[in-house]
């Protein structure tokens, strides 16, 4: 029998050892039928024969298929930053799968940058790295992934980075992306090497001059171009888009966000061209960041951008940033503040601008995602959302709080009442959990951080994320973090907030798709949805929960096209 629909479009049926569908009506299958990049159905082979003539693809007969993972909070710079020197503490794999060792001390960080300067004296870097984001003059030396919280009380200063070069601008971006350390040359070029600066974003040395540590966008933006880290470059770089796609295929990701893009015309053109290529394996969802523009301008811009959306590029949402990072001491915390007595953090967006953005977005049907790390910032966001909803009532707005790490049960109840979802930063337990217990927020508040169990118990829509490049893009590792809540030292941080493997897998598929308003298309393997699958070497629902992050990823199927890890831009 041949169905009359799409008779000229071939049907492929993939078989697998097991297919975990995330469809409650049919939670597992052995075969899935695909036509034209969409799913005809999932079930047994006999269930699917009725669709007509087909080709049986058995390459996944020994594999396990899940819905393609949806990374609801990441940044394209996770690809672009591989142009530069990795200065993080933990060993890390690059887009080609090569592992880079971590720098275990401040001196090692300086040594990594010194090697980068020696290896790249003209600033060419990988694939021409010195050019696109850098100002004219001696080429910069640039690093990323650094965090001084691992190295005790001493902070990195401009004098440390002057050891890398006294004549070239030197900059190293913190892992959080909220702080930048630069040398004397970079400070001088940005006009910041002077006395009289009185602002918490500029720590000062004994000489009254900035130390070279710059906190938040107000301090960082004037310097970024000088060290080759223009935000426009980071979110609109073709090398970065391709490198990011390779990382995605290696980790089972078929849809990912760029959650703070500038989305200038040239960048949008590049995004449309690259994502439109037949071999590009990833659907991108960039959100326009509300920094450096008025709320009315941002809403008008994303409304206009909607018309440029494609199957592989989804435009039309906004990102608001309320505060900074907890480990960078730039997040806004309620009383009693930081455990170690550090000064209160920074506000990135004024309350009036947040409320105006929310109200205008509600009128225009524009989803808004808001970064809140500290609980005081979460209070502010909820207050402004409540005020905007009182002015412009709207159901199913899909407003989402991102990170929202210190939220307590009362705040989750407010979120439920307001229809607000959360995307929690589960990876933080591993990478900074020990520091949160002992330095930033203390044992009790650290145990409630990223409270996945409370979110589910209070009925708040839940996703979890990596915030790549803040932590590595790897949804199965993110799920492992939510299930085990284990720190790098092996301490279990807040056992009552652990969730089960099924809940964690839903959070990296349907949960993340819901947060992006794409749950009608993505996040489960069922009739009518996009043919996006993560191809795994083992069954994540059958391995011990403590080994969830060890499940191997073979690659992905995205829009019915097969991509093997290591060959990310060549459909198999």
**Structure tokens that stand for 355 in this block:** 């409320």
Residues 526 and 468 in one domain: yes
Checking if the pLDDT of 127 tops 50, the result is no
- Confirm if 403 and 425 have CB atoms less than 8 A apart: yes
In a domain, 2, yes or no: no
Summary mean pLDDT of the chain? 94
Domain tally for the chain? Answer: 3
Checking if the pLDDT of 467 tops 50, the result is yes
In a domain, 512, yes or no: yes
* E-state strands within 223-305: 253-261, 283-289
Predicted model pTM: 0.95
Residues 401 and 486 in one domain: yes
Residues 42 and 145 in one domain: no
In a domain, 68, yes or no: no
| Averaged pLDDT for residues 137-142 | 88
Checking if the pLDDT of 218 tops 90, the result is no
CA distances from 324 to 41, 47, 215, 251 (A): 45, 52, 8, 28
**Structure confidence at residue 130 (pLDDT):** 45
Task: Name the helix (H) or strand (E) containing 403.
Answer: strand 400-403
Residues 305 and 378 in one domain: yes
More confident residue, 3 or 65: 65
Chain-centroid distance of CA 564 in Å reads 22
**Structure tokens that stand for 361 in this block:** 């977005």
In a domain, 432, yes or no: yes
Residue owning tokens 């300067």: 117
pLDDT tens track for 152-175: 989 999 999 999 999 999 999 999
pLDDT tens track for 454-464: 999 999 999 99
Q: What count of residues does the chain have?
A: 572
Beta bridge partners of 66: 534
What CA dihedral angle connects 61, 66, 67 and 68, to 10 degrees?
-80
Residues 368 and 412 in one domain: yes
Domain of 459, CATH number, reads 3.20.20.140
Residues 58 and 143 in one domain: no
Last residue of a domain, one of 203, 229, 255: 229
Checking if the pLDDT of 236 tops 70, the result is yes
Residues 156 and 277 in one domain: no
In a domain, 313, yes or no: yes
In a domain, 78, yes or no: no
- Around 514, how many Cα atoms within 13 Å sit in the side-chain half-sphere? 20
Which residue range is the domain that position 91 belongs to?
Answer: 85-128+134-229
Residues 242 and 383 in one domain: yes
Checking if the pLDDT of 131 tops 50, the result is no
**Structure confidence at residue 6 (pLDDT):** 75
**Structure confidence at residue 2 (pLDDT):** 45
Q: Where are the alpha helices (DSSP H) in 1-83?
A: 45-48, 77-80
**Structure confidence at residue 129 (pLDDT):** 41
- Confirm if 451 and 431 have CB atoms less than 8 A apart: no
Residues 427 and 556 in one domain: yes
Predicted confidence band of residue 566 (pLDDT cuts 50, 70, 90): confident
Please give the order of strands across the beta sheet that includes 179-182.
85-86, 141-146, 170-174, 179-182, 213-215
Residues 406 and 290 in one domain: yes
Residues 252 and 334 in one domain: yes
Say how far apart CA 153 and CA 296 lie, in whole Å: 43
In a domain, 77, yes or no: no
Residues 511 and 442 in one domain: yes
Phi, psi of 263 (to 5 degrees): 55, 45
**Structure confidence at residue 138 (pLDDT):** 80
Q: Which of 60, 69, 75 is nearest to 254 (CA)?
A: 69
Domain of 222, CATH number, reads 3.10.310.70
In a domain, 5, yes or no: no
DSSP single-letter state for residue 50? G
- Confirm if 430 and 488 have CB atoms less than 8 A apart: yes
Last residue of a domain, one of 229, 264, 287: 229
Checking if the pLDDT of 100 tops 70, the result is yes
| Averaged pLDDT for residues 96-124 | 91
| Averaged pLDDT for residues 345-372 | 97
Last residue of a domain, one of 197, 229, 261: 229
- Confirm if 239 and 80 have CB atoms less than 8 A apart: yes
Report the share of the chain in percent with pLDDT over 70. 95
Beta bridge partners of 318: 288, 368
């Amino acid at each position: 029998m041949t169905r009359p629909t799409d008779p000229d479009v071939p049907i492929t049926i993939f078989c697998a050892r097991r297919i975990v569908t995330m469809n409650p009506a049919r939670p597992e299958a052995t075969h899935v039928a695909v036509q034209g990049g969409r799913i005809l159905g999932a079930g047994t082979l006999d269930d699917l024969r009725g669709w007509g003539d087909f080709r049986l693809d058995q390459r996944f007969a020994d594999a396990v298929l899940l819905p393609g993972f949806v990374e609801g909070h990441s940044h394209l710079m996770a690809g672009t930053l591989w142009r530069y020197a990795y200065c993080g503490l933990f060993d890390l794999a690059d887009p080609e799968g090569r592992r880079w060792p971590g720098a275990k001390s401040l001196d090692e960080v300086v040594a990594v940058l010194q090697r980068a300067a020696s290896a790249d004296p003209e600033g060419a870097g990988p694939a021409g790295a010195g050019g696109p984001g850098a100002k004219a003059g001696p080429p910069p030396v640039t690093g990323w992934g650094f965090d001084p919280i691992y190295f005790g009380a001493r902070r990195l200063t401009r004098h440390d980075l002057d050891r890398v070069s006294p004549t070239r601008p030197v900059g190293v971006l913190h892992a959080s992306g909220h702080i930048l350390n630069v040398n004397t040359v970079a400070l001088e070029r940005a006009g910041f090497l002077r006395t009289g600066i009185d602002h918490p974003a500029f720590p000062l040395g004994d000489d009254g001059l900035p130390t070279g540590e710059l906190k938040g966008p107000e301090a960082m933006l004037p310097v970024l171009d000088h060290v080759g880290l223009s935000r426009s470059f980071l979110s609109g770089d073709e090398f970065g888009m391709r490198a990011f796609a390779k990382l995605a295929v290696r980790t089972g990701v078929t849809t990912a966000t760029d959650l703070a893009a500038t989305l200038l015309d040239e960048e949008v053109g590049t995004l449309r061209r690259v994502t439109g290529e037949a071999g590009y394996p990833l659907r991108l969802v960039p959100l326009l960041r509300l920094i450096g523009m008025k709320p009315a301008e941002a809403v008008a811009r994303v409304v206009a951008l909607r018309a440029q959306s494609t199957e592989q590029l989804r435009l039309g949402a906004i990102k608001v940033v309320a505060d900074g990072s907890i480990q960078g001491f730039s997040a806004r915390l309620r009383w009693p503040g930081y455990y170690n007595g550090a000064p209160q953090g920074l506000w990135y967006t004024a309350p009036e601008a947040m409320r105006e953005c929310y109200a205008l977005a509600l009128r225009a049907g524009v989803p808004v995602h808001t970064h809140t790390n500290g609980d005081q910032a979460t209070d502010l966001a909820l207050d402004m959302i409540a005020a905007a909803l009182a002015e412009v009532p709207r159901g199913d707005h899909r407003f989402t709080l991102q990170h929202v790490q210190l939220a307590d049960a009362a705040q989750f109840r407010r979120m439920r009442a307001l229809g607000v979802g959360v995307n929690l930063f589960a990876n933080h337990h591993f990478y900074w959990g020990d520091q949160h217990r002992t330095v930033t927020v203390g044992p009790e508040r650290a145990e409630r951080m990223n409270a996945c169990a409370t979110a589910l118990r209070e009925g708040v829509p839940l996703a979890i994320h990596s915030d790549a490049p803040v932590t590595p893009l790897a949804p199965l590792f993110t799920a492992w973090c939510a299930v085990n809540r284990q720190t790098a030292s092996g301490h279990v941080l807040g056992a009552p907030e652990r969730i089960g493997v099924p809940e964690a897998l839903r959070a990296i598929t349907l949960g993340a798709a819901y947060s992006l308003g794409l749950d009608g298309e993505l996040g489960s393997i069922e009739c009518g949805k996009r043919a996006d699958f993560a191809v795994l070497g083992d069954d994540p629902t059958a391995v011990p929960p403590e080994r969830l992050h060890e499940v191997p990823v073979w690659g992905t199927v995205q829009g019915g096209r097969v991509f093997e890890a290591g060959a990310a831009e060549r459909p198999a």
